[in-house]
């Protein structure tokens, strides 16, 4: 009788080809496989990002405050500008009360100086513009414009005539015309010209040829009565 085939429990593991697997192997290759985790280390300060240096974020860090100095240094002002000492003291006290730094206080001083200079220059700018307007009016005036050289020459001659007896007065008068700007005003120039034309010497009298009476032949000269009263019969 042939030997009976010995059966094996279904729980016995077999290889893919049907052979009984080595029972000494207690784990499968897949189960035995393990993953090795890399070792971690704390980054050195050089490896930290700029925003995380020393464990603090630069964006969230509170910047140090400089604050007001014990005493403010002399503030800078443009050349020729003098900052009043009393004003500087009062301003310094207010700056210190509000905790302004030297640089912050200097900005307020710069603002004050700029506005002060604008206020000082405003009258001169107005005067300069007024002078320019007057000169334009004189040059475009129907009477003064075309004969401006003649007008100024006549006025200057009249001043010289007066200056013959008082040169200092003539010089001071010219200075005043320049300083006040009156020498550019159309009405002043026109009035002065009208007066100057009456005291200055007139021009030469142009000749009109010899007298007709002087061309008569001898013996035909008029009598004294005819010469005095040429229209008498």
Local confidence pLDDT in tens for the 233 residues of the chain: 455 445 555 556 666 666 666 555 544 444 444 445 555 556 555 566 655 566 555 555 565 567 888 889 999 999 989 888 898 999 999 999 999 999 999 999 999 999 999 999 999 999 999 999 999 999 999 999 999 999 999 999 999 998 899 999 999 999 999 999 999 999 999 999 999 998 886 655 556 666 665 666 666 666 777 777 777 66
Q: Is there a domain that residue 21 lies in?
A: no
**Residues 145 and 120 grouped into a single domain:** no
135 Cβ contact partners less than 8 Å away, ≥ 6 residues apart: 184
Q: Is there a domain that residue 8 lies in?
A: no
Q: Is there a domain that residue 27 lies in?
A: no
Q: Is there a domain that residue 88 lies in?
A: yes
Does pTM top 0.85 for this prediction?
A: no
Q: Is there a domain that residue 35 lies in?
A: no
Three-class secondary structure of residue 20 per DSSP: strand
Q: What percent of the chain is modeled with pLDDT above 90? A: 47
Confidence at residue 22, expressed as pLDDT on a 0 to 100 scale: 59
Q: Is there a domain that residue 145 lies in?
A: yes
Domain count, the chain: 2
**Residues 71 and 110 grouped into a single domain:** yes
Q: Is there a domain that residue 97 lies in?
A: yes
Q: Is there a domain that residue 177 lies in?
A: yes
**Residues 193 and 147 grouped into a single domain:** yes
Confidence at residue 216, expressed as pLDDT on a 0 to 100 scale: 65
Range of the domain at 173: 141-199
């Amino acid at each position: 009788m042939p030997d009976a085939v010995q059966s094996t429990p279904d729980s016995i593991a077999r290889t893919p080809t049907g052979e009984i697997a080595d029972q000494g192997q207690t784990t499968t290759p897949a189960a035995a496989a393990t993953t090795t985790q890399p070792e971690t280390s704390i980054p050195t300060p050089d490896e930290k990002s700029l925003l995380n240096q020393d464990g603090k974020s630069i964006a969230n860090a509170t910047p140090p405050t400089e604050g007001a100095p014990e005493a403010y240094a002399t503030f800078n002002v443009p050349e020729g500008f003098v900052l009043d000492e009393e004003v500087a003291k009062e301003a310094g006290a207010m700056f210190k009360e509000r905790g302004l730094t030297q640089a912050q206080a200097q900005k307020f001083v710069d603002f004050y100086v700029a506005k002060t200079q604008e206020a000082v220059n405003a009258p001169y700018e107005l005067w300069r513009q007024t002078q320019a307007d007057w000169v334009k009016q004189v040059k475009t005036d129907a009477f003064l414009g075309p004969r401006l050289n003649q007008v100024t020459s006549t006025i200057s001659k009249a001043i010289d005539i007066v200056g013959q007896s008082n040169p200092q007065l003539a010089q001071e008068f010219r200075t005043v015309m320049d300083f006040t700007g009156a020498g550019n005003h159309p009405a002043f120039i026109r009035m002065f010209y009208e007066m100057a034309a009456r005291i200055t010497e007139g021009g030469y009298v142009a000749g009109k040829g010899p007298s007709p009476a002087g061309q008569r032949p001898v013996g035909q000269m008029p009598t004294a009565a005819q010469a005095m009263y040429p229209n008498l019969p």
